[in-house]
Amino acid sequence: MIEWVLILGVLMVAIFSRRHKTLTFSGMWAAIIVGVLIALGLGIGGLVLLAVFFGSSAFWGGRESDISNREAVTEKGGERDAWQVLANGGPAALCALFVWIWPEFSLMWTSAFVGSLAAATADTWATEIGSKSRQRPFHILTRKRVSRGVSGAVTSLGIAAAFAGSFLISAIAIMLWWSSLSGAHIWLMVFTAIGFLANLVDTLVGASLQVVYRCPVCGQFTERTTHCGVPSERVKGRSFVNNDFVNVTCTLAGAFLGAIVGTRF
Ligand SMILES: [Zn+2]
């Protein structure tokens, strides 16, 4: 019974997000799949954690002016499509599914779920809040000043935001599931570190391997394969390493580290 109420809630949030242009049509379906798997595996606690990630991302998501500026550089606009949803929420949904299939390993998979969502939240907060920084970002590898929105660009504000996002998810997860555990405050630090480290992996992969194109017309460096109506030219990175690929390395790294920690409780 309770499952059906939760699934109904997932459907309502997904349809609402579609109507408010937070999700594309395919993104809505991906969000429904992610939400339903999490409802089945982890119930209301899992959905609370997903809602904190999703709601805070939408909250920090920025206004129209920020979005149009971002659209010139990044591959995709403000509406999240299925690939973006699955890159952020797919590993967490799989962990929830594994809790459902293998309840005897529920501690490990729940821990992996938390690690993955902590990573996704750290990454999203770093991107969304970091882009509001007045400080000009620097490149994580070259340490040179670069334009906003470029992969591998970091600001101190973004780094602090990654830490805060991971901390929030970890704190709620511990309140939900592990508050009676001895040394809960230690686990809070461990999970916060997991989300933060996974976000660091994301930034390093983005900085070193992510594909960068250049528009032959206006000269803009971009993640888009077309710009100004013409195909853009690849200047660095691997063509399959787009933003979704980088994001999924982040959420998989979080899940992996979470699973390791989950065997140590
Ligand atoms: Zn152009």
CA separation for the pair 28, 63 (Å, rounded) = 21
- 129-162 per-position pLDDT tens digit: 988 888 889 888 888 888 877 778 899 999 999 9
Q: Which residues of the chain have pLDDT under 50?
A: 63-65
Q: What is the pLDDT of residue 69?
A: 57
- The sheet that has 221-222: what strands, in order across it? 221-222, 212-214, 233-236
pLDDT score at 71: 60
Surrounding ion ligand 1 within 5 Å at CB are 215, 217-218, 220, 227-228
Model pLDDT, residue 76: 75
67 CA from centroid of ligand 1 (Å):
17
What separation in Å is there between the alpha carbon of 218 and the centre of ligand 1?
A: 4
What local confidence, expressed as pLDDT, does residue 107 receive? 93
Query: How far is ligand 1, taken at its centre, from the CA of residue 74, in Å?
Result: 12
Task: Using the mean position of ligand 1's atoms as its centre, give its distance from the Cα of residue 115 in Å.
Answer: 38
